[in-house]
Structure 1
Amino acid sequence: MSERKSSPLGHADLWEKWKENGDLEAKKELIEKYLNIVDYVSGRLAVGLPRNISKDDLFSNGVMGLMDAIEKFDYKRGLQFETYASWRVRGAILDGLRQGDWVPRSVREKAKRIEEGYQKLEQKYLRTVTDEEMSEYLEISEKEFQQMLQDVAVMTLCSLEDPIREEESETRMSMLIDDKAKNPDHKVREFFLQESLTKGIEKLTEKERTVVSLLYYEDLSLSEIAEVMSLSPSRISQLHSKAILRLRATLEKSRNLLMQED
């Protein structure tokens, strides 16, 4: 994203006109100047999504996220607006996808089966389980297991943004971001889950950790990661699916332990 970085201080006059004076023309100019963030984020998320997902819809939802970011951003703190806006834009696009119920029930069921398999087997063996062991648990061939991972790839794109439980708003990704102070009890729970997530990442295979790191921390797309690791895009999708489903299983186990202590 280096090609599009421009500090909010570079548009200080616009931010001041909008935030201090409510100048709508200044707000409109800010939206136009930062539309490339929407283009970049929507383009990255489009990789790996089904072809029936409209890129125009992704972009439109992203624009709503950008407008929300401009509304809420505090330019006086001297923070990088692009980083803040990127999260807002990404969140708005993923919200739009979820509301559209774009993941078929069959795909959700496959993801749930794999997640449960990782949770049970890794609890049983106390180590990272192999594809062979997972295939045996699911009573399918390794080739069929790889196809399952490919099938759920589009779902795992949003997995860290999904609620830990369907009836709650707390997301897995929120545990990686300290955005506001919370009450002590919540902080203890959050720390426990965050620690569980960290341990879960440590248990991933080297390739899975690399994919997670490049995607979520280095901000590379799946196709770019494929080039870096000299693997096919489909193989990267499979590694990503396995990593996310392992992490989901780890967090769900930790969540259940917390619920038992209540």
Structure 2
Amino acid sequence: MFVVEELNSEELFALWSEFKDSHSKSAKDRLLIHYAPLVKFVAGRVAVGLPQSIDQADLVSYGMFGLIDAIDKFDLDRKIKFETYAISRIKGAIIDELRAIDWVPRSVRAKARVVEKAYQKLEAKLLRTPTDKEVAEELGISEKELQSIYSRISFIGVVAFDEVISGGDKGDGSVSIGDTIADKRASSTNSFEREETKQILAQAINKLGDREKVVLALYYFEGFTLAEIGDVLGVTESRVCQIHTKAVMQLKSKLAESERELI
């Protein structure tokens, strides 16, 4: 078992400099130990809503690969905090492994696809975000049954926001949330594509309902847990899961529509 090493800002900068200058293994190991709590934090957030069969300890082990990658690739000249950069890499590594082990039952994936197609169809027809009642009618079910479906597919939504950005593909052309952070030395083409992605995403988020925007902002950018968001909104954690899932469905629909308009 390791002990987290407390370092002040000067010691930490010196450690980073040593690692980047000499690729010292001991310096890298000390950085890994120092930032290891980030992995546990991210794994804990991703674990919310996942099936009980997914062990959080496994998520931590997946996340460590992301932390290693973040330390190797972090550029000290970039004017961002390492934590901001690393959290995205850690979460991406966890999501990649979850995809690889195909952790979502086929029946749940099928439900998610059906709801997503309903959103896309109604978005194109109504030229606005459909209401729960309209989605339920399109699916031929009650609003209560629709909320039940949101609950069942909520653990897809917990990790799906990164997939909205990357299109669910980790090929050469994918863009993660962390990758959208500006890099002044990036090529003009890549910078333009990333800026365009951010603009499309921002426009899509602005079209969401107030509750959906609050849930996304608090969860992804303020670090709140789903339970804490429930306290803020005065609803249950289960209801927050439903709102989150609905928001992701709407974003995927809006982004798909934007892509069709560009073709």
Q: Quick check: TM above 0.5?
A: yes
List alignment gaps of at least 5 residues for structure 1. none
Equivalent residue of 1:181, what SS? coil
Name the CA distance, whole Å, in 2 between partners of 1:96 and 1:35: 18
> Would you say 1:241 and 2:227 are equivalent positions?
no
Please show how residues 1-262 of structure 1 align to structure 2 within 5 Å.
9-77=10-78, 79-162=80-163, 163-164=166-167, 169-171=173-175, 173=177, 176-179=180-183, 181-184=186-189, 190-258=194-262, 260=263
Equivalent residue of 1:51, what SS? coil
Name the CA distance, whole Å, in 2 between partners of 1:254 and 1:73: 32
Name the CA distance, whole Å, in 2 between partners of 1:16 and 1:208: 42
Deviation at 1:77, TM superposition (A): 4.6
Name the CA distance, whole Å, in 2 between partners of 1:87 and 1:62: 10
Between stretches 135-144 and 194-203, larger displacement belongs to: 194-203
Deviation at 1:136, TM superposition (A): 0.4
**Counterpart contact for 2:46–2:159, Cα < 8 Å:** no
Name the CA distance, whole Å, in 2 between partners of 1:89 and 1:198: 23
Q: 1:207 to 1:96 in 2, by over 3 A?
A: same
Name the CA distance, whole Å, in 1 between partners of 2:214 and 2:77: 36
Between stretches 54-63 and 71-80, larger displacement belongs to: 71-80
Equivalent residue of 1:101, what SS? coil
List alignment gaps of at least 5 residues for structure 2. 1-5
Deviation at 1:223, TM superposition (A): 1.4
Deviation at 1:236, TM superposition (A): 0.2
Q: 1:199 to 1:19 in 2, by over 3 A?
A: closer
Equivalent residue of 1:75, what SS? coil
Deviation at 1:16, TM superposition (A): 2.5
Structure 1 vs Structure 2: percent identity of aligned residues? 39
Equivalent residue of 2:134, what SS? helix
Equivalent residue of 2:18, what SS? helix
TM (norm. structure 1) is 0.87
Q: 1:254 to 1:77 in 2, by over 3 A?
A: closer
Name the CA distance, whole Å, in 2 between partners of 1:88 and 1:236: 25
TM (norm. structure 2) is 0.87
Name the CA distance, whole Å, in 1 between partners of 2:19 and 2:194: 36
